[in-house]
Amino acid sequence: MKKVTVFLAILTFVLPVIAAKDTTTATSAEERLKSYEKHLQMKETSIFKTLEWREIGPYFVGGRIDDIEAYENNPYKFYIAAASGGLWATENNATTWTPIFDHESSITIGDIAISQTDENLIWVGTGEQNSSRSSYAGTGVFKSTDGGKTWKNMGLTDTHHIGRVIIDYEDNNIVYVAAIGHLYTYNEERGLFKTTDGGKTWKKILYISPKTGVIDVVMHPKNRNILFAAAWQRERKAWNFWEGGEESGIYKSIDGGETWKKIGGGFPQNKYIGRIGLAVGPSNPNVVYALLDNQERKPGTNNRDIKGAEIYRSNDGGETWTITHYYYLDGVVFTYGYYFGNIRVAPNDEDVIYVLGIPLLKSTDGGRTFKDASHLESGEGIGDVHVDMHALWINPKNPKHLILGNDGCLNISYDETATWQKIDNIPLAQCYTIHYDNQDPYFVYTGLQDNGVNRGPSDFKLGRGENTWQMFIFGDGGYILPQPDDPDIVYAAVQYGSIFRVELKEKKKSIFIKPKSPDEKSPYRFNWLAPFLISPYNSHTLYMGGNKVFKSVDRGDNWQEISPDLSNQQNTEGDVPYATIVALDESPLYPGLLYAGTDDGNVWVRKGVQAKWEKITRDLPSKWVTRIIASKYKKERVYVTLIGSREDDSRAYVHASEDYGKTWTPIKGNLPEEPVNVIREDPVNENILYLGTDLTVYVTIDRGITWHSLKNNLPTNAVYDLRVHPRENELIIGTHGRGVFILPVKYIQQLASEKKEKSQRG
């Protein structure tokens, strides 16, 4: 690969997922579904349920696609499953789309299956298969018998993440589900499940252990009793991700899953076996391929220089295996093979295979040699193909017709990958952060997973004939803030604190301003989403959080440490930077009054420029801090939200303090037990607070005594960030899967004022 491709790939995924320390028992599937029922009840009874959200994109940016399924006799009708953006249907070859899975208990999808004999039958396995930092747990498998108009949860609710769903091609009542299981904790409901009665009952037909699930399963195209399944042992903690283990491997059954044999015969058997993808040659079913993420270190290299992607082939139905290539496939998955793992075989030629990694690789000689079929390296192919490939459908009746799913949505080829058509007319953006400026109309700013930092007009409407969303920096977008007194200066950060000052008047001149440690032996640690803010008192004064708090008075050209290490300074030697600051705020009422929160559960306050930092966690749960907000109404008041998702703890943690955090009071009131990502104050009424959870948005008009749902017409989606534009009185939210939505809040403000006046009159 050329250097630019490698650079983009490293920006996209440098290291695995961040998590938090394990201090709480995981929330059970029953508790999660019970909370969702309360969530629905609050939506139906909300006093604000008539308010309508306005969706503004981003379009033309894209989002992660996990699966694609089309009909052999009608290939212009197909479905795409988004990682966290639901299920979408098209009947006109991607010209228009309809979301058909927006209001279930989870719209994060691992895999889907459709019947080729009954177009009304669709299965959805929830819980993304790609074990990334923002891969959400699902709530089981769902079935539709009316083409997606209605859905029924068919169980397996504690599987959390589903790798594959396949329907028996002779009997629609027989379905197999490969379940990876919990991402952060061990559990029993993982492995391979089978139903013979359309999902009424399930039998676990392949089970290895509570730490090993099944990521893939394929069926012999001419003998439905022959199955191959890929087991995957993985374990994730806050500071590390173990991507493989001895329990990983390939299993074969010749009796419809009643009995299984673990396959050896040349396929590796050791503790380095990571994720495995499988494919059987439709034209010659004796040929079976396996894409292996080999975690073994290359001879004579350091611990992170691993073998990576390897292709193994069997010519005898899986009895014996040989590696197809004599060289390392460097640059295909790097050290994060957990994020990839799919391989496909052309329907008419067992020697034509496709390997899905950062690029799409194609081989026409059975895996001995490869070329970049996505043209990321050469740029010779027509069509804008995004990096990171996750799904590929090959037309069984016309192998030149392919549909490719990646982190930038879709591409379609009609000439066997020579050229690609880009499809990005679906709002599938995975937002991390939200901000705004004061132009008229104002712009919305957002950082997106694998699609950079962007801005678009708040009055955006699809169909204007131009791309009105603008990307500033490519990568995994983090915080992006315009300078309040000059919107031509934008601060844009991507993963791990890599921040730029973008000067738009200078032809988009970008200046790298990340704080750098003066001691190379003791580098700073920055979180995946390192917090950044502009001081409300001076637009040239910046703050940023690493393992310490940094301050700049010259727009980032120079930085100084203004705190000690605020983390617990433990577990810092794993795969990812950990023990870092993840929340940061300065009081708008008192200069230098700062709050900071860490991923390992610490909360700190500094009550002025000359004051010392004080830890204020006495009354708080030891959880990952998601947001700290210093009140604009009372300098002693502060709010904090925390989250336990990285321990499979789905409870809601929202607290307030009236004494700089010396004491804290829970204010979750009547909230369902949903993980909380963000809290903000209303700009005109101190009693109004807005809350973003992993499922929707809530509002209170009495400072947390009672909460009201604002889900209304929103899909079930995580809200990572939200802000209220003070001039327009519009609530702007960034969802992690469906982009940006805007809601007028004048009615909420009016109702809160009336309630306050009534209370004062007694």
Integer Cα distance of 449 and 468 in angstroms: 19
State the Cα–Cα distance between residues 375 and 386, nearest whole angstrom: 10
| Phi, psi values for residue 730, rounded to 5° | -120, 135
Q: What angle do CA 634, 637, 643 make, to 5 degrees?
A: 145
What's the confidence (pLDDT) of residue 26?
84
Task: Cite the residue boundaries of each domain of the chain with CATH code 2.130.10.10.
Answer: 62-423, 431-761
Chain centre distance of CA 680:
23
Residue 558: both structure tokens together: 């120079």
Asked if omega into 484 is within 30° of 0 (cis), the reply is no
Nearest-angstrom CA–CA distance, 210 and 292:
22
pLDDT at 424: 86
SS3 percent helix, strand, coil of the chain, rounded to 5, is: 5, 40, 55
- Take residue 191 and report the two structure tokens written for it: 């492995």
**Mean pLDDT in order along the chain per 10 residues (762 residues):** 35 30 70 96 97 92 93 97 97 97 97 98 97 91 98 98 98 98 96 98 98 98 98 92 96 98 96 98 97 94 87 98 96 93 98 97 98 82 87 98 96 96 92 96 95 93 72 93 95 96 87 95 95 98 98 98 96 91 98 98 96 96 97 98 94 98 98 98 98 98 97 97 98 97 97 80 63
User: What pLDDT does residue 609 have?
Assistant: 94
**What are residue 478's phi and psi, to 5 degrees?**
-115, -130
DSSP structure class, residue 462: T
CA pair distance 114, 465, nearest whole angstrom: 35
Q: Rounded to whole angstroms, how far apart are CA atoms 460 and 112? A: 32
Sequence-distant (6+) residues with CB within 8 A of 88 are 79, 80, 82, 97, 98, 99, 100, 426
Give pLDDT, residue 464. 61
- Residue 758 phi, psi (nearest 5): -65, -40
Q: Compute CA 338 distance to the chain's CA centroid, rounded to the nearest angstrom.
A: 14
If you count DSSP H runs as helices and E runs as strands, how many of each does the chain have, helices first?
3, 58
Residue of 560, 437, 450, 563 whose CA lies nearest to 491? 437
How many CB atoms neighbour CB 659 within 10 A?
11
- Residues 6 or more apart in contact with residue 542 via CB below 8 angstroms: 491, 532, 533, 534, 535, 551, 552, 555, 556
One-letter amino acid at 229 equals A
Q: Which two tokens stand for residue 479?
A: 């915080």
Second CATH level (architecture) for the domain 62-423: 7 Propeller (2.130)
Strand partners of residue 625: 642
Cis peptide leading into residue 441 (ω within 30°): yes
In angstroms, the CA 551 to CA 580 distance is 16
Question: What number does CATH give the domain 431-761?
Answer: 2.130.10.10
Element spanning 85, H or E: none
End-to-end CA distance of the chain: 73
**Contact status, residue 544 vs residue 550, Cβ threshold 8 Å:** yes
